[in-house]
């Protein structure tokens, strides 16, 4: 499974302060730490409170790239910020994210085609997040078709079925798993899949336990990637183990270490 490290995000106080002061030390620290822990991509998010998201995104991308060669996942609802980030990315990036809403899909998929970027497509539209898997799949199909129309290869599209906290939308859990399975039948090659892992445990106890159990259950249903805490050792151990069980990596006694080094 592809781990998109979640930590360079202005939602966290140290990153918000780093952006404000234009002091890259916290950004460098988290880029290095997440790479060392085994992240395959780094999510870059200026945070909800940014007053200058375009400049902040550019600065975050440039400063992250000073210490790592990992590809980046540009995370914003402000597409001008994403575009500014894409222009300074040294490697093809991922765009996080676009819902199944036409003007937004047009903007994002045309940017993606131009910059050879991957895209996370959300199974939601103007009406919100549907509960049942059938409706989520219908939205995924719109994303697949529109990506294709704009020249974005289907396997550069990551469908996010959208996970709700287990104390709020508990009945969504099985629907998310069913969506993950059915997405793989939409096309050949199929789109990839991703989730924002920590959503499942937002506001509940035992967060790490719930995150890692959900992650491997989703992998058993075909999940390809997750935006997650790469520095959560038990999560990374669980993901490495699930890859062994699914016969995706060959078993050896040090399979956990081998997985962590697979991003190199």
Interaction site with a second copy (CB under 8 A): 166-167, 170-171, 173-174, 177, 200, 204-206, 209-210, 213-214, 216-221, 237-238, 241-242, 244-247, 250-251, 253, 255-256
Distance between CA 161 and CA 159 in Å, rounded?
6
Strand runs (DSSP E) across 100-146, as ranges? Answer: 118-122
Q: To the nearest whole angstrom, how small is the minimum distance from the Cβ of residue 29 to a second copy? A: 29
Angle of CA points 223, 102, 141, to nearest 5°: 35
- Looking at the Cβ atoms of 3 and 8, the one nearer to a second copy is 3
- Looking at the Cβ atoms of 25 and 254, the one nearer to a second copy is 254
Which residues face 120 on adjacent strands?
A: 96, 158
Q: To the nearest whole angstrom, how small is the minimum distance from the Cβ of residue 237 to a second copy? A: 6
Distance between CA 184 and CA 171 in Å, rounded?
22
Q: To the nearest whole angstrom, how small is the minimum distance from the Cβ of residue 140 to a second copy? A: 20
By the 10 Å C-beta count (0-12 exposed, 13-18 middle, 19+ buried), 46 is classed as buried
Q: To the nearest whole angstrom, how small is the minimum distance from the Cβ of residue 188 to a second copy? A: 19
- Looking at the Cβ atoms of 50 and 199, the one nearer to a second copy is 199
- Looking at the Cβ atoms of 51 and 206, the one nearer to a second copy is 206
- Looking at the Cβ atoms of 18 and 176, the one nearer to a second copy is 176
Q: To the nearest whole angstrom, how small is the minimum distance from the Cβ of residue 200 to a second copy? A: 7
Q: To the nearest whole angstrom, how small is the minimum distance from the Cβ of residue 253 to a second copy? A: 5
Give per-residue burial for 169-179: e unless 16+ CB within 10 Å, then b: beebbebbbbb
Give per-residue burial for 12-21: e unless 16+ CB within 10 Å, then b: beebbebbee
- Looking at the Cβ atoms of 46 and 183, the one nearer to a second copy is 183
In degrees and rounded to multiples of 5, residue 94 shows phi and psi of -115, 140
């Amino acid at each position: 499974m592809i781990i998109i490290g979640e930590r360079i995000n202005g939602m966290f106080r140290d990153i918000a302060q780093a952006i404000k002061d234009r002091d890259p030390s916290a950004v460098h620290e988290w880029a290095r730490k997440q790479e060392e822990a085994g992240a395959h991509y780094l999510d870059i998010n200026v945070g909800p409170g940014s007053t200058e998201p375009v400049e902040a995104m550019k600065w975050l991308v440039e400063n992250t790239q000073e210490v790592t060669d990992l590809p980046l996942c540009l995370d914003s609802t402000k597409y001008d910020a994403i575009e500014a980030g894409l222009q300074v990315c040294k490697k093809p990036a991922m765009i996080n994210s676009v819902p199944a809403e036409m003007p937004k899909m047009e903007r994002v998929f045309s940017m993606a085609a131009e910059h050879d970027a991957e895209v996370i497509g959300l199974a939601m539209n103007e009406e919100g997040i549907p509960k049942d898997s059938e409706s989520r799949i219908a939205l995924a199909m719109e994303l697949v078709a529109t990506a294709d129309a704009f020249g974005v290869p289907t396997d550069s599209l990551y469908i996010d079925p959208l996970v709700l906290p287990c104390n709020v939308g508990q009945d969504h859990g099985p629907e998310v798993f069913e969506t993950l399975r059915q997405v793989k039948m939409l096309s050949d090659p199929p789109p990839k899949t991703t989730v924002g892992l920590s959503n499942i445990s937002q506001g509940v106890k035992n967060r790490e336990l719930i995150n890692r159990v959900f992650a491997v259950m989703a992998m058993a249903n075909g999940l390809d990637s997750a935006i997650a805490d790469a520095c959560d050792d038990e999560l990374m151990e669980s993901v490495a183990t699930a890859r062994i069980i699914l016969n995706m990596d060959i078993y050896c006694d040090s399979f956990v270490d081998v997985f962590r080094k697979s991003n190199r």
